[in-house]
Amino acid sequence: MIQIRVHGRGGQGAVTFAHILCASATYDGKYGQSCMGATVERRGAPVEAYGRIGDKPIAERGVILAPDYVIVLNSQLMKAVNVETGMKDNGKLIINSPKALELKHEATYLDATSIAVDLLKTPITNTVMLGAFAAATGLVSLDSLEKGIRLILARFSKDKLELNIKAIKAGYEEVKRGKGVH
């Protein structure tokens, strides 16, 4: 079982990131389970969401203390939160940051905010980061991500949904082009 922890600020879509990712994994024939911690979330407060992906039904629930992957939707958050807490030794990070940072674990960086602002006209980066996650880890296919987002965001308007699918692809390509990989 692969464990994924997503860090963001309330309102940036960390929880939705986990839901779309784990729903998408089910289209690849895997089992996915996403959740959030028991917290009081306010807009702008540090938020964590969790995803588990495995080859058999997932038994454990709740907070992930020892993640294989850590996603950071907003690198400014790293001043307040140690996102590497509890990470497995060979764990990897995918970080929304235009430049590399000093960390103990291997990390992939991309400027997801610029891509999101370009495409979505808002600095909400979760869909860009989903694409980046797929490219960096190969844990979920781009096709499945598209199916997953259509499922989870079914009540979005068509235009908004299509734009977010574009954002997934843009994040995917950004990492595939090998930009900023460390």
Contact residues: another protein, CB under 8 A: 10-11, 19, 22-23, 26, 31-40, 42-45, 57-63, 148, 151-152, 155
Smallest separation, CB 13 to another protein (Å): 14
Listed in sequence order, the residues at least 6 apart from 145 whose beta carbon sits closer than 8 Å to its beta carbon are: 20, 21, 24, 130, 131, 134, 168
Smallest separation, CB 62 to another protein (Å): 3
Query: From its phi and psi, is residue 121 left (phi > 0), alpha (psi between -120 and 50) or beta?
Result: left
Nearer CB in complex with another protein: 43/99: 43
Nearer CB in complex with another protein: 148/171: 148
Nearer CB in complex with another protein: 99/158: 158
CB neighbourhood size of 126 (10 A): 29
CA distance 157 to 151: 13
Smallest separation, CB 114 to another protein (Å): 21
